[in-house]
Structure 1
Amino acid sequence: MGDTDLRAERADTRPLLIACLAIFGLGCVWTVFFAAGLPAPKVLMWLTVPATSVVAMVTTLRVARTPGLHPAARRFWATLSVVEVLVLAGASLMTAATFAQWSSHPLLLVGTAVPLLAVALLIVMWALLRLPVGERSRNEWMRLTLDGATVTAGAALFLWHLVLRPLAQSHTDLPKFLGILLISLVCLLALVAVMKVVMVGSGPVTSASLRLLALTILIGVFASAAAPITNQPRWIGLQPISIIVNMLVVTWSAHVQRRRSDEPAAPRAGARRQRRFSTLPYVAVAATSLLLAVQSFRAGRDEGVVDIAPVALGAILITGIVVARQLFALRDNAHLLDSVSRHEQQLQHQATHDTLTGLANRAGFSAIVDEALTQDASAAVLLIDLDDFKEVNDTLGHDVGDAVLVAVAERLRAAVRGGDVVARLGGDEFAVLLRHAPGGDADRAAERVLSLLVPPVNAAGHHLLVHASIGVAPAGAGDDLGTLLRKADIAMYAAKDRGKGNSVGYTPDMAARIQAHAELGADLRDAIGTDRLYLRYQPIVRLEDGALFGAEALMRFEHPTRGPVSPAEFIPVAEQCGLIVPLGRWALREACRQASQWLRRYGDDALRSITVNVAGRQLQDPGFVDDVRAALAAAGLPAQRLLVEVTETAVLNDGQAIATLHELRTLGVRIALDDFGTAASSLGLLLTCPVTTLKLDRSFVEEITTAGRPAAVAQAVIHIAKTLDLAAVAEGIETPAQAELLRRQGYELGQGYLYARPLAPEELEARLEPAAQPV
């Protein structure tokens, strides 16, 4: 349904409301004429009552059929349609009485029409009380009940004083007195329904409609209470006017519901009504006090002391209810303050503690450390980082990782003294504040932590070994938490450089080294794409005749002020700074370009392969295979001419690296395993890694000419290579004796200072000339 149709559907009660307003205006004009003694057909005035009843009935029925209306609201408006039928019947009886000239018999008029109207009023109250209300606590219901009791008692007192007591003193006949008493009780019940709607509220019916309907009950109560007056001939025109007004208000409230049927009763509106009517009990007390004062004044003038007794008793009752209400409110406020205090404490705890482990978080730890540093100059901080924790999350899932963190937190609590504080700063990083740690106490505490982490951790059914690196930072003069954590962080990375499960204490020279590494990293970043980065090529030769077979590309860096920087210094810095991937990409492209140029210039046999070293971080990069493919394509170099050299440690237990190597092998690129024989699982790698070449580590070549294990290892490696149909290259050859022994063992290729140090491209070209062969 479009917006236009929807607006039309909601607006179709507007003509009914306009018609009801017109009838109301006509009734008011007739009432004024009748009260002024002017000619006014009374029967026409009474005919307006059935007309407005019909309009109200049609409106409520139409609203009850509104699409999408809440079932409770639909039932409520349908019930009001029944009420309008009863009003229509009562109004019709009054009209018939007018035609029959029964207006001189008011008791007959009351006996025929008023019971129907009273039943209609009762049904309205029943429909209002039946409306569902929002969920409320027992305290809220108690408060509302006491407020309602205060208002009801005050209203009952005024009904007795203004209506029932005068009737009893005037010796009115019993049937009439009982009728008035019944009307009074109905008025009190109506007041309860009004308070329920106004003070409690309801969700299915809109708040504006409920307020209007509450007005109809008040109008009915007022008309019933004023019956002795309106039954007089001069004011009898007010009786139909009260019914017309009620029908107008019902039509209006139904029209409001139709227009806002998609709006639930707003909680804020309910809250506003609750605040506005929270003063109603005090109004009742004030009115009762005023009535008591008036009666006291009259008693003082000898107008009857007995008249003050019921008022005084009522005032005492109302005051007692209000006192009970205040005592209940005070107790409720005390409970509320306790609840707020507990809630604030809970929020404070949540703001300063880690939800997973229950340890202090960074904010809580900061406050504790700041306080401790002002009290104890010998405090120290341990910064603890779990080694290889990311692999636990990646392989076993975050639930297991969380269980590991909880278990580690418990062991850290057990490792420290009572006054020390353990915190989780985030992720797998923990910190410990040692409040008093003079001398070597902090180092001993770090060793105690490491020893408690040695036993396997049981995490969600998995028994896992947990290693940690710890940086120890004793507090110095003027240190704050930021300074201590920075020092501990520097020491922790120094511990990681030593291997897993180590602790290192901070020393001032560590900061200088970190600063130097940072500056070197910045210089490396600036050097990419400039001539300060360049390649040198170390020849790989045939051991049989020394002829050039291939070359290994080696990266070099010329610092703008320091001059040449050793690869042993700048390569680790590049890995720590995350620059190894762009540096490796540049080296790959440059080596492929140079090799392709030599291939075109000197032919296929001049240089069989170009070797490029690849770091483990490059193998984990998702775009590395594309980088290799692009470098080969840009240079026009066949893939089989490229030999990618990786270390055993770079691919050991790394599924992503192994997968990357398989992709490279699919391209045709060959794979060399460098430093073979130095890692713990060399033979196992031969089963998973698509190796084409084994490179014997230089540590075995250095002492190969002496009898012993190096020669035996070299012999075993060449045997494995021949058995698996792999090429073998011996590294680090420096003497003719080493070369001869390796040749006799079966090695065909070798490299080392015996043949050449790393050469510039033009130096290697000189050896590629046909006249220069062999080397």
Structure 2
Amino acid sequence: MSRIGIWIFVAVAFVAAATEAYVYALPVGEVMHVATYTVLCGLAWWSALRLRRGRLPWLLIAACQTLWFAGDAYELLELHLVGATSAVGPADVFWLGGYPLLAVALALLARRRAAGGLRGSVVDALILTVAAAAVSWQFIMKPLTDGYTLAESTVPLLYPLADVVLLTAALVIALSPGTRTAPTRLLLAGVVCYLVMDLCWNVLPYLLSPEVFEPLGVLVLAGNALIVAAGLHPDRAELTTPGPAGGTLHPARIFFLGLALLTAPVLAIFTPQDMVGAVASAACALLVVVRFVNVSRAQERAQAQLAFQASCDPLTGLANRTALGAQLARTEPAPDAPVAVLYVDLDGFKQINDEYGHEAGDAVLRAVSGRLSSAVREGDLVARLGGDEFVLLCPGVPADEAVRLAERIITDVAWPVAYEGHDLVVGASIGIAGSTDDAAEGLLRSADAAMYEAKRLGRGRWVLSA
């Protein structure tokens, strides 16, 4: 469906819901409710079944809407056959059964959307949910337990509990990384409609007569329409497409997290507290500690990644020019501790790039990097300066051993590199500089000059600096 078509569909669905609210108590209102619900459930299943990938969350959403429709249909049938509806009955099984399906669907969408970056969003969602659960317990759930038997209060208690679970799943979606355009907003708006409707049905009976608040039940239809629209939207892939994690917390997120942390203490001041309030306070404190630990570890990983990027070549994983310079500055040749520097330049590398492309050249560079790393000892440094130039810094290696190492490298580098059915061959020209008393930084210049002399003499050879 096109983007314009999506908004036309939403507008029509809202007009139908508003009309139904107006004629809610009339027979025509019941007919409209059944007809509208049937169409929305059909569209929910159609939008889910036509997907080739990522179908499961949308199938769960369609199943949720179907269960809720079954609950409404049973209640209407009971009303017409018996003349009244039972306070607790089979309809509640259908209604309550839809909540976990919807929560699991939202969790699956969030998991695919976050791509490994979900931990912080989950902790933040749990902090907000604990605060909402504390408020819900104090003003909605607890009154349901006063003066009622366990059987009479159990089913009514399950609805606010289900709302808490649904709120958690919705917050994980809202706080997870990723793009938030029309599909995400439609999905979240649909969940908000469900939560607002349940809140109204839990609170307004204490304030208003049934004929005033019962028409608000059409908010379920509005929520269904919004979620179906999200599933039909041409950009719905954003709901499962991993997005980059945000670098900073949005100010609104910080505000609501702070508000959530203040909820339990404020409730303790203005309302009598019980074990639930103490548990909510402890849970919030524990979640804040978990969040702090996660942020600290993420910062440590980021610092380690920055340090790696500052000292390593991204293509080959070898040390880069900066790391080589730092190591040269720390290296001090001595009569009993000679230092050898080998400057390696590949022969024929430009022709491979020109003939087979830069991806082939990158494959050759990675292969040569592995061969150079295998040729040296543990403690020696292999660095890529850029392009097809490499440097080997070998402390404790005298000149004769450096020559043997160069001959081995020339042989190893000359082995073909397999790439997409082709054998790519390069050679190596190597300049060698060794010292027992000069500064190590000067060895790099001497090895560079010797490498150019090897190039001039015909390539594929080594030259020892005088």
- Give the TM-score, by structure 1 length: 0.44
1:182 to 139, 155, 160: 155
1:199 partner amino acid: V
Matched, 1:207 2:207: no
Does the 8 Å contact 1:473/1:488 carry over to 2? no
Quote how far apart the aligned CAs of 1:355 are. Answer: 3.0
2:74 & 2:402 partners in 1: Cα distance?
Answer: 91
Q: 1:57 aligns with which of 27, 38, 59?
A: 38
Work out whether residues 345 and 388 of structure 2, in 8 Å CA contact, stay in contact via their aligned partners in 1.
yes
What is the CA distance between 1:403 and its match in structure 2? 7.0
AA aligned to 1:211 is: L
**Identical-pair percentage:** 13
Deviations 1:96-138 (A, max 9, x none): 88xx7xxxxxxxx4517x6465344313303213313416589
Q: Which residue, 340, 357, 360 being the options, matches 2:302?
A: 340
The reply on whether 1:503 has 2:456 as its aligned counterpart is no
Q: Tell me the alpha carbon deviations over residues 300-327 of structure 1, each in whole angstroms, 9 at most, x when there is no partner.
A: xxxxxxxx3xx15433222211221122
Separation of aligned partners in 1, 2:266 and 2:138: 12
* Aligned residue number for residue 17 of structure 1: 13
From 424, 445, 449, the counterpart of 2:402? 449
Partner of 2:266: 290
Aligned to 1:84: 69
Alignment of 1:546-557 (within 5 A): none
Q: Could you say which residue in structure 1 is the equivalent of 2:139?
A: 158
Equivalent-residue separation in structure 1 for 2:463 and 2:242 (angstroms): 60
**Correspondence for 2:95:** 121
Any unmatched runs of 5+ in structure 1? Answer: 31-42, 101-108, 169-173, 296-307, 374-378, 437-443, 506-775
Larger radius of gyration: 1
Task: State the one-letter code of the partner of 1:152.
Answer: A
Residue 84 of structure 1 aligns with an amino acid whose one-letter code is F
How far apart, CA to CA, are the structure 2 residues paired with 1:8 and 1:319?
47
Gaps of 5+ in 2: 333-337, 354-359, 417-426
Query: Structure 2 vs 1, CA of residues 344 and 143 (structure 1 numbering), >3 Å: closer, same or farther?
Result: same
The answer to whether the 8 A contact 1:47-1:95 is kept is: no
Counterpart residue identity of residue 312, structure 2: Q
Question: 1:37 corresponds to which residue?
Answer: none
Name the residue aligned to 1:263: 237
Counterpart of 2:281? 319
Distance 1:333 1:185, change over 3 A: same
Q: Deviations over 1:519-577 (max 9, x none)?
A: xxxxxxxxxxxxxxxxxxxxxxxxxxxxxxxxxxxxxxxxxxxxxxxxxxxxxxxxxxx
Confirm or deny: 8 A CA contact 2:343 2:390 kept in the other structure.
yes
Q: 1:68 pairs with 44, 47, 50, which one?
A: 50
Q: Which residue of 1 aligns with 2:316?
A: 355
Tell me how far apart the structure 2 counterparts of residues 25 and 367 of structure 1 sit (CA, whole Å).
75
Matching residue's letter, 1:48? G
Q: Paired residue for 1:244, among 193, 218, 226? A: 218
Q: Is the 8 A contact 1:59 1:254 kept in 2?
A: yes
Correspondence for 2:431 = 470
Indicate conservation of the 8 Å contact 1:24/1:245, yes or no: no
Say whether the 8 Å CA contact 1:86–1:117 is kept in structure 2.
yes
State the distance in 2 between where 1:49 and 1:287 align. Answer: 41
With over 3 angstroms needed to count, the CA separation of the structure-2 counterparts of 1:157 and 1:222, relative to structure 1, is: same
AA aligned opposite 1:340: A
With over 3 angstroms needed to count, the CA separation of the structure-2 counterparts of 1:65 and 1:94, relative to structure 1, is same
Q: Given the superposition, is the C-alpha separation of residues 316 and 18 from structure 1 closer, same or farther in structure 2, using an over 3 Å criterion?
A: closer
1:304-453 map, 5 Å: 308=272, 311-351=273-313, 355=316, 358=318, 360-369=319-328, 384-385=343-344, 423-425=383-385, 429-431=389-391, 445-453=398-406
* Residue in structure 2 matching 1:48, options 29, 34, 39: 29
Q: Which amino acid aligns with 2:43?
A: R
| Rounded Cα–Cα distance in structure 2 between residues aligned with 1:476 and 1:122 | 81
Would the aligned equivalents of 1:492 and 1:504 in 2 still touch at CA under 8 Å?
no
Q: Is the 8 A contact 1:411 1:452 kept in 2?
A: yes
Q: Tell me the distance in 2 between the aligned counterparts of 1:401 and 1:240.
A: 71
- Listed as ranges, the matches of 1:329-728 within 5 Å are 329-351=291-313, 355=316, 358=318, 360-369=319-328, 384-385=343-344, 423-425=383-385, 429-431=389-391, 445-453=398-406, 459=412, 470=431, 487-488=449-450, 491-492=453-454, 496=457, 501-505=462-466
Is the contact made by 1:288 and 1:315 (CA closer than 8 Å) also made in structure 2?
yes
Of 171, 191, 195, 1:218 maps to 195
* Native 8 Å contact 1:146 1:322 kept in 2: yes
- The answer to whether the 8 A contact 1:90-1:117 is kept is yes
Q: Is the 8 A contact 2:14 2:222 kept in 1?
A: no
Please give the alpha-carbon distance, in whole angstroms, between the structure 2 residues aligned to 1:269 and 1:457. 44
In structure 2, do the counterparts of structure 1 residues 339 and 455 end up closer, same or farther at CA, with 3 Å as the change threshold? closer
Distance, in Å, in 1 between the alignment partners of 2:342 and 2:386 is 12
**Aligned pair count?**
424
Could you tell me how far 1:23 is from its partner in structure 2?
0.9
In the TM superposition, what is the alpha-carbon distance from 1:213 to its structure 2 partner? 3.3
| Cα distance in 2 for residues equivalent to 1:405 and 1:292 | 64
**1:20, 1:251 within 8 Å by CA — same for their partners in 2?**
no
Q: Give TM-score, length-normalised by structure 2.
A: 0.67
SS in 2 for 1:237: helix
Q: Structure 2: how far apart are the matches of 1:110 and 1:143? A: 40
Q: 1:23 to 1:427 in 2, by over 3 A?
A: closer
The SS at the match of 1:111 is coil
Q: Do the aligned partners of 2:339 and 2:393 also contact (CA within 8 Å) in 1?
A: yes
8 Å contact 1:382–1:432 — kept in the other structure?
A: yes
CA distance in structure 2 between the partners assigned to 1:284 and 1:384 by the alignment:
61
Q: Which residue of 2 aligns with 1:26?
A: 22
Instruction: Give the Cα–Cα distance (whole angstroms) in 2 for the partners of residues 245 and 482 of structure 1.
Output: 75
Partners of 1:229 and 1:387 lie apart in 2 by 83
Deviations 1:53-74 (A, max 9, x none): 4213212312421373353214
Give the residue type in structure 2 aligned to 1:247: L
Distance 2:44 2:90 in 1: 24
Residues 151 and 281 in structure 1, CA contact (< 8 A), matched pair in contact too: no
Q: Deviations over 1:60-93 (max 9, x none)?
A: 3124213733532145225413422432442465
Matches of 1:499 and 1:248, distance apart in 2? 75
Query: How many angstroms apart in 2 are the aligned matches of 1:286 and 1:245?
Result: 31
Q: Deviations over 1:650-695 (max 9, x none)?
A: xxxxxxxxxxxxxxxxxxxxxxxxxxxxxxxxxxxxxxxxxxxxxx
In structure 2, C-alpha distance between the alignment counterparts of 1:406 and 1:261, rounded to whole Å: 43
Deviations 1:585-612 (A, max 9, x none): xxxxxxxxxxxxxxxxxxxxxxxxxxxx
Q: 1:498 to 1:192 in 2, by over 3 A?
A: closer
**SS state at 1:187 partner:** helix
Which position in structure 2 is the counterpart of 1:521? none
CA apart distance, 1:198: 2.8
**What is the DSSP-based 3-state SS (H/G/I as helix, E as strand, rest coil) of the residue aligned with 2:152?**
helix
Alpha carbons 1:213, 1:253 under 8 Å: kept: yes
More helix by share: 2
8 Å contact kept, 1:424–1:431:
yes
C-alpha deviation, 1:207, in angstroms: 2.8
Distance 1:269 1:453 in 2: 45
TM-superposed deviation, 1:48: 2.0
Residues 240 and 429 (structure 1), Cα distance of their counterparts in 2 relative to 1, 3 Å cut: closer
The letter for the 1-side match of 2:196 is I
Q: RMSD of the TM alignment (CA)?
A: 5.4
